[in-house]
Amino acid sequence: MYLGAALGMLCVPPLLHRTRPRYVYIFLSSLGFVWSAVWFIFSSDPPRAERAKASSAGFGMPHEPTSGQHVLPMTALSKDTDGSNKQKSWTKRINRADTIPWRSIMSSLPVWAIVVNNFTFHYALYVLMNWLPTYFSEGLRVSLESLGMSKTVPYLNMFIFSNVGGVLADHLIVGRILSVSYTRKLLNTGGFVVAAMALFMMTGVRSSTGALLLSSICLGLCALARAGFAVNHMDIAPKYAGIVMGISNTAGTLAGIVGVGLTGLILEAAKANNLELSDPRSWTMVFSTPAILCMISALIFVVFARGERIFD
């Protein structure tokens, strides 16, 4: 995902400079068709025999549920005719409404801690991804083409730190250095707090080098925080992880709509107050808003997040 963003920053500006915007959209949409073809050809359910975690979560089941029903895999040990234990497997169809504790999920503070942090992560990500080019071109008066490969650094940093966060979290948990709860809170809080500091500092930066450095720190540490909130649904609700992930990702998508639109309104308000986009004051609220959200979300996660299973 982050490598794609880096390649987009590298390829789109030259394409936009040499052609009309219409062809940029055609190019990007064609990539979607190519990826869809690859997906439909090569995607498959994970085989249950080879993927124990997938099997326990119910993926790859041979029978599709009927309307309004959910198929649960059932196993038990029974005595065979020779007295040995023999495992029996069957499926049980029950109403979906009986299997998903919607009220408990929607009223759970640990779930809402994930939702809030997902919102904040995507708010910061979409605002920077959509408005950083404008900040460089209008705020700093720097052409994106003149930045060369360096403009991909913030997104490459996300790729690096998202993997670092995952490996580090596994090391702390598997090595019993920290509990699951402390590990999630440490990485989530550390990532968001440092990202907030970088965003606050961006309000006073007037050089492209400084802006690239701080945006790289911000996005990289936000990616590190994903080792906290973005996988916590598997800790607290492994059976309903897809549902919790769907709820939190809905909040993340709404953050993109709200964040990008609100940033445009902030800049329009600055123009109405006779401030040019090259004036640092025009961008103060743009970067301060996600910074404040990062601080608030980190605090919420520390207080309400959990590392143990709370939904069976």
The token duo for 248 is 């939190």
CA distance 261 to 240: 32
CA distance 200 to 190: 16
CA distance 172 to 190: 15
Specify whether the CB–CB gap between 286 and 263 falls below 8 A: yes
Q: What is the pLDDT of residue 280?
A: 86
Q: What is the pLDDT of residue 170?
A: 93
Q: What is the pLDDT of residue 14?
A: 81
Please report, for residues 12, 47, 181, 238, the alpha-carbon distance to residue 9 in angstroms, rounded to integers and kept in the order given: 6, 37, 36, 36
Closest CA to 211 of 268, 137, 158, 270: 137
CA distance 198 to 203: 9
Mapped onto helix, strand or coil, the DSSP state of residue 136 is: helix
Q: What is the pLDDT of residue 48?
A: 53
Q: What is the pLDDT of residue 50?
A: 58
3-state SS string for 74-90? EEEEEECCCCCEEEEEE
Closest CA to 127 of 298, 273, 288: 288
CA distance 297 to 117: 5
Angle, CA 178 vertex, CA 172 and CA 182 arms, to 5°: 110
Q: What is the pLDDT of residue 99?
A: 83
Q: What is the pLDDT along the chain (312 residues), one digit of tens a residue?
A: 888 888 887 888 788 878 888 888 998 899 999 999 999 988 876 555 555 545 544 544 444 444 444 444 444 444 444 545 444 444 444 444 458 899 999 999 999 999 999 999 999 999 998 998 899 888 888 887 777 788 888 889 999 999 999 999 999 999 999 999 999 999 999 999 999 999 999 988 888 899 999 999 999 999 999 999 999 999 999 999 999 999 999 999 999 999 999 999 999 999 998 888 888 889 999 999 999 999 999 999 999 999 999 987
